[in-house]
Structure 1
Amino acid sequence: MGHSDLDPAVHERRPWNAGQNVGPKRPLKPRDIWAIRFFLDEHKRVRDRALFDLAIDSKLRGCDIVKIRIGDIVSGGTLRNRATVIQQKTGRPVQFEIMSEASRSLTAWLERRGGTIRDFVFPSRIDYLGHLSTRQYARLVDEWVSAVGLDKREYGTHSMRRTKASLIYKATGNLRAVQILLGHTNIENTVRYLGVDIDDALTLSERTEV
């Protein structure tokens, strides 16, 4: 049953987002990345270390990360340097690189995990033939950031997606490259996603002397 805006009870109800940060989630800084890696290694969380590294490198949404199959990142028994997946949201393919840290952690995880190329890289705890749920992935991210002293209200699965993209943008100022890497259909989405503002634009302009 709904409520009328004129009902006194409506104005007494606490907003669902009271006390929560519902804006864009912050990207991780390099020191945060290494702090999380150290935490996961120290606690021998092999799966989580592989998931974290792949999330950073791939820049994929959570719904795409959890559905990656072994065959997407492995060819001929060897981990690929680059992989391609079809995004659930857009239905378009996007490529990503697998760097040395992710390569090492994924290799260690897949050796323990086993499976065939048709299996998911990160299986569900309940249904081993299924994949890790996006809700469980979100819980893991909350745990990782909290473990290194970050406020989990300010970070989430989109922090994993934004981290490397933000670092690339800050290093190069190349919005088009970031748009391609994130798989955005238009550059305005990338501008909003990165939170590019007038200060960023002026800083980039000041680097170029004519």
Structure 2
Amino acid sequence: MEALNSSGARRVPWNKGRLTGQKPPLKLREIWAIRTRLQMSCKVRERAMFNLAIDSKLRACDLTRLQVQDVCMGGHVLSRASVMQKKTQRPVQFEITELTRQSVGAWISARGLKPVDFLFPSRISASPHVSTRQYARIVHRWVASIGLDDAAYGTHTMRRTKASLIYRRTKNLRAVQLLLGHTKLDYLPRGTMSGVH
């Protein structure tokens, strides 16, 4: 049953014409296409952000709040890091691959960031770090840059990408659950790994 507004006309649903539901993960070739474009365009911050988003599998709210000291110690980017998740208030560990360590190290050095600084400071003076909304716009730009429909992808795409690649290789749902920081199997929404098989 459709709601009517005061003039008697049908109200248009907020999601009419928009793709809703789960966002698909990126495929390996799409990851490399985005990495190549970011490398060629010399976008040091975005390259570090993209690589860390893939490796960490963090939600947007956790990725944007990372501090330098979360991933770097003594001037060296760690190969493994642990952060407290905002949503679950539970720690989650993640591996930082060599490629990501290089790009994050280059960003920290280029910006001259200190351990207590946010890893991705906002360019807007009122905000200490990139907002989740800003991050979402950046993700849409990455996706559109390689010719994909950016409406079909979002920040959760970045969270699901590495987990989906690992699931494809291992078929181990419990391992993926742990990588994403989930505590119970029933916490995974039905169809979470759809499109992964």
TM-score normalised by length of structure 2: 0.92
Distance 1:174 1:10 in 2: 53
Q: How many residues align?
A: 196
Q: What are the within-5 Å matches in structure 2 for residues 38-77 of structure 1?
A: 38-77=36-75
Deviates more, 1:171-180 or 1:128-137: 128-137
Change (3 A) 1:10 1:137: farther
Change (3 A) 1:139 1:7: closer
Change (3 A) 1:183 1:157: same
User: SS of the residue aligned with 1:153?
Assistant: helix
Counterpart AA for 2:63? I
Q: Name which of 65, 75, 78 aligns with 2:76.
A: 78
Change (3 A) 1:41 1:63: same
Distance 2:43 2:4 in 1: 53
Q: Which residue matches 1:177?
A: 175
Structure 1 stretches of 4+ with a deviation exceeding 2 A read 4-11, 188-197
Change (3 A) 1:186 1:9: farther
Q: Name which of 117, 122, 125 aligns with 2:123.
A: 125
**Contact 2:44/2:103 (<8 A) preserved:** yes
Counterpart AA for 2:166? I
Q: Which residue matches 2:149?
A: 151
Q: Which residue matches 2:161?
A: 163
User: SS of the residue aligned with 1:25?
Assistant: coil
Structure 2 portions without partners, runs of 5+:
none
Distance 1:6 1:127 in 2: 42
Report the CA distance between 1:11 and its aligned residue.
5.6
Report the CA distance between 1:9 and its aligned residue.
4.6
Structure 1 portions without partners, runs of 5+:
201-210
TM-score normalised by length of structure 1: 0.87
**Contact 2:4/2:11 (<8 A) preserved:** no
User: SS of the residue aligned with 1:72?
Assistant: helix
Q: Which has the higher helix share?
A: 1
Q: Which residue matches 2:92?
A: 94
Q: Which residue matches 2:15?
A: 17
Distance 1:98 1:10 in 2: 56
* RMSD, aligned α-carbons: 2.1
Report the CA distance between 1:75 and its aligned residue.
1.1
